[in-house]
Amino acid sequence: MIKLIAMDMDGTLLNKHRGISWGNLRALRYARSKGVTLAIASGRAFFDIESKMTEFDMETHLIGANGATIHSSDGKLLGADFLNRDEALEIVKELAEQHYYFGVYSEHHIYVPEEGTTWLREELKRLGIHEDRSVGFQEATRADFYRFVEDWDIFKNRSTEFSKIIIFSYDDEKLKKARDVYEAKHKYSIVSSGTGNFEIMPPNVSKGNALDHLAHYLNIPIDQVMAIGDNYNDLSMFEVAGVSVAMGNAHDDIKAVCDRVTKNYDEDGVAHAIYEEIGYPDGERA
């Protein structure tokens, strides 16, 4: 019997409007009524996930920044890991010099280069691309969590901790070049959470390790955990969870490693996965 369900957000729980459908919300509440504990496991920052869950009045444990932070449903910090600050500042300076757009995650904000959106527009023009490939460009225009930085040296004498750096580019070759550089250092955990990005995190940080930690904290055997996701940063969850479910919109190689495949994120795939595992409400069947 599944006791804990961990879900990715973007491309999984959230629909194309970045909301939670009534079908998914109803299924989550049904699972809770059956004694199942819920957790969100996202590449987003803790405060971003918390804001979204509060919006839908949903009580969940929160795994943020791909596992760099773990919070209980009442907001208690259960675990956190951070990049070496000097190394992180060296990385962002290198990226800024080469006009990469990136976001640096801290406890309360996501710091982005002041000229970053200009660099993305220049890439679009140079490559002749006329549409956003969902690398996060639109997200970066939000003013609530983001802070624009011109001189990264301002952090030298601050105590700000960084949990991850996410790098965006519309240029696949340019993105691969940067990823190869930091992977070659063999000192970071690096994953992709979508088209046109990769993320640099402290070593051994992953959604899977965080989910294992959370399950132990809740005294739930890992074989009684179900993980639902759609992208490469979810693979570590699939490896540890007792039941792994890929979204219908996931790539085929992600589907291949999962126990089951559900419907896509705009067809209430999370709800269908939940009902298939714990049963449908009385008198109902999808």
Average pLDDT over residues 73-79: 94
The residues, any chain, with a CB within 8 Å of residue 6's CB and separated by 6 or more, are: 39, 40, 41, 63, 207, 211, 214, 225, 226, 227, 228, 237, 241
Check residue 156 and give its pLDDT: 87
Look at 121 and 260; give whichever has higher pLDDT. Answer: 260
Annotation says 10 is catalytic? no
- Three-state SS for 158? coil
Give the active site residue among 8, 48, 212, 230.
8
Average pLDDT over residues 219-229: 98
Query: What pLDDT, in 10s, does the model give residues 188-212?
Result: 999 998 889 999 999 999 999 999 9
The residues, any chain, with a CB within 8 Å of residue 256's CB and separated by 6 or more, are: none
Q: How many CA atoms lie within 13 A of 11 on its CB side?
A: 21
Question: How far is it, in rounded angstroms, from Cα 126 to Cα 241?
Answer: 43
Question: How far is it, in rounded angstroms, from Cα 179 to Cα 182?
Answer: 5
Question: Between the CA atoms of 214, 220, 225 and 230, what dihedral angle is there, to the nearest 10 degrees?
Answer: -10
- Whether the per-residue pLDDT at 135 is higher than 50: the answer is no
- Whether the per-residue pLDDT at 132 is higher than 80: the answer is no
Q: Could you tell me the pLDDT band of residue 130, with boundaries at 50, 70 and 90?
A: confident
Two tokens, residue 254: 């992600």
Check residue 131 and give its pLDDT: 61
Question: How far is it, in rounded angstroms, from Cα 196 to Cα 172?
Answer: 7
Check residue 145 and give its pLDDT: 86
Check residue 194 and give its pLDDT: 84
Please choose, from the candidates 220, 281, 263, the residue with its C-alpha nearest in 3D space to the C-alpha of residue 29: 281
Check residue 44 and give its pLDDT: 94
Mean pLDDT of the chain: 92
Check residue 143 and give its pLDDT: 55
Query: What pLDDT, in 10s, does the model give residues 40-52?
Result: 999 999 999 999 9
Check residue 141 and give its pLDDT: 46
Task: Please state which of the ranges 51-55, 66-70, 185-189 shows the lowest mean pLDDT.
Answer: 51-55
Task: Please state which of the ranges 8-12, 88-92, 142-146 shows the lowest mean pLDDT.
Answer: 142-146
Q: Could you tell me the pLDDT band of residue 112, with boundaries at 50, 70 and 90?
A: very high
Question: How far is it, in rounded angstroms, from Cα 45 to Cα 199?
Answer: 13
- Whether the per-residue pLDDT at 138 is higher than 50: the answer is no
